[in-house]
Amino acid sequence: MDATTVADAATNFGFWSLVPTLSVLVLAVTIHRPIEALLFGAVIGQIILAVAGDMTVTDTIFAYAGSTLNALRDEDLAWVILVCGAMGALIGLLVRTGSVTVFMDVVARRVKSRAGAIMATWLMGIAVFVDDYLNAIAVGSTMKRLTDRYKVSREMLAYLIDSTAAPVSVIIPISTWAVFFAKLLESVNLAAPGEGFAAYVGGIPYMLYAWLAIVIVPVVALGKLPLIGPMKAAEARAQAGQCVPPRSGKLAVDKHPIDEKPGGKRSVWMFILPIAGLVFFTVQFDLDFLPAVYTALSLTIVAALVFRFLDHHDAFDTVLDGFRTMIEPLAIIFSAYVLKEINGQLGLTEYVLDLALPYMNAHTLPFIIFAIMGLIAFGTGSSWGMFVIALPVIAELAIQTNANIPLVIGATLSASTFGSHACLYADATVLTSHSCGCTSLQHALTQLPYAVITAILSLLGFWLLAA
């Protein structure tokens, strides 16, 4: 495979394939509404396809409707909807039974300072390593009351959690990330059949972005690295007593319909056991998070009924209310998948790879993979989907140039982690901001300077390691 054949897999629209994603980024920052920006970008992409295909207005509308249906048929999106809905229901039960409050009281007795609250959040994020969604939803929902007490801004809380979501799930191989990418490595011949997990583990030392993201968090949060731009403003606002940022859109988390049951029974074990069960069941079910969430949710409902924390009406009303709290973030994620569908038709990933191919060799390959794929992941919000398209090309180039395979794997996973971490409409970003009580744009803009610093250090590391 060479530079003239990479784009054969899809129609290549050249520079026009970049326009929808660029319009999304500009509009989102301008109007502070990611859903509208994403849908607008998808419409722009559909218009480009319509003009190129000489479609009528009616055909264009039908084509756009087809793109939205194709997005809904995406197995990854269906998985996200089911997981997030079930997690919303589970967190709702933990709130309604008062177990979150009891757990926070236990933690608060051991935390005596702002630095302690920050480090407790960081350590809890690392402990919940099996899935970045579990980390994003559970840790944010749990720790915001404690960090509010010590005047930590919700944006800083979101940064703490997001930096221990995908980065931790990547470098600890007992995670859904490891399962997905291990299978992918085998399918593109970067690992022999049955050796995908071993190849993944071999790349862990070179997953520079993930390592650096985790290490830099306490450095920033504890004031060892100066606060920059929007994060500095957010922390100053929190020190003045306003931890929750001014709304630039409806924050469903601040209008949470679930309150603790007045006068109900409370037990810290109603928090510890469901969360520990999620980790246990995820490992037990071969790191498949969906059946693990279903099992943990079902057992939590049973426990709430058997031990009379809730009656059956209250329990199932709470499950429905918990699912409803996830509607807004799921709407953003759905819109991102519609844009992803349009970008696939435009050949965005193939076009960008095509531009970079002439400059790739054994020395430059890891550096370029991280730079190019990181930018694509950042622009599209697709930390997994685009790698299904790009990894066969990357694998072929790695084999042809005799590049360091573990280093290439590390660069690829680092790029995916950067996209999940930095993009304002990536799944983890949206879910983290939702659970912490700020918008995804507020979270993304305050986090971005530190993500960029981490990315630059990673780029330098890949250049030196490949030398």
| Tens digit of each residue's pLDDT (9 = 90 or more) over 286-332 | 777 889 889 999 999 999 999 989 988 999 999 998 888 888 888 88
What percent of the chain lies above the pLDDT cut of 70?
94
Question: In angstroms, rounded to a whole number, what is the distance separating the alpha carbons of residues 367 and 101?
Answer: 46
Give the mean model confidence (pLDDT) for residues 251-275: 73
Contact predicate 365/190, CB 8 Å: no
- At residue 385, the pLDDT reads 66
pLDDT band at residue 211, thresholds of 50, 70 and 90?
very high
- At residue 7, the pLDDT reads 41
> In the predicted model, is pLDDT for residue 252 greater than 50?
no
When mean pLDDT is compared over 70-74, 118-122, 460-464, the highest value belongs to: 460-464
What are the tokens at 278? 């999620």
pLDDT band at residue 8, thresholds of 50, 70 and 90?
very low
Q: How far is residue 243 from each of residues 105, 149, 152, 238, 255, measured CA to CA in Å? A: 19, 9, 6, 4, 16
Q: What is the pLDDT of residues 442-454, one digit of tens each?
A: 999 999 999 999 9
What percent of the chain lies above the pLDDT cut of 90?
25
> In the predicted model, is pLDDT for residue 215 greater than 60?
yes
> In the predicted model, is pLDDT for residue 131 greater than 80?
no
Give the mean model confidence (pLDDT) for residues 151-174: 89
Could you tell me the pTM of the whole model? Answer: 0.81
Question: In angstroms, rounded to a whole number, what is the distance separating the alpha carbons of residues 397 and 390?
Answer: 11
- At residue 158, the pLDDT reads 93
Compare 165 and 153 and report the one with higher pLDDT: 153
> In the predicted model, is pLDDT for residue 359 greater than 90?
no
Question: In angstroms, rounded to a whole number, what is the distance separating the alpha carbons of residues 255 and 249?
Answer: 12
> In the predicted model, is pLDDT for residue 172 greater than 90?
no
Q: What is the pLDDT of residues 82-111, one digit of tens each?
A: 988 888 888 889 888 888 888 878 888 888
What are the tokens at 302? 């049973």
Give the mean model confidence (pLDDT) for residues 141-170: 89
> In the predicted model, is pLDDT for residue 9 greater than 80?
no
- At residue 278, the pLDDT reads 83
pLDDT band at residue 386, thresholds of 50, 70 and 90?
low
DSSP 69-92: HHHHH-HHHHHHHHHHHHHHHHHH
Q: Which residue type does 203 have? A: G
Contact predicate 234/152, CB 8 Å: no
For the packed helices 327-346 and 348-356, what is the interaxial angle rounded to 10 degrees? 60
Question: In angstroms, rounded to a whole number, what is the distance separating the alpha carbons of residues 132 and 128?
Answer: 8
What are the tokens at 99? 């177990």
- At residue 205, the pLDDT reads 95
pLDDT band at residue 253, thresholds of 50, 70 and 90?
very low
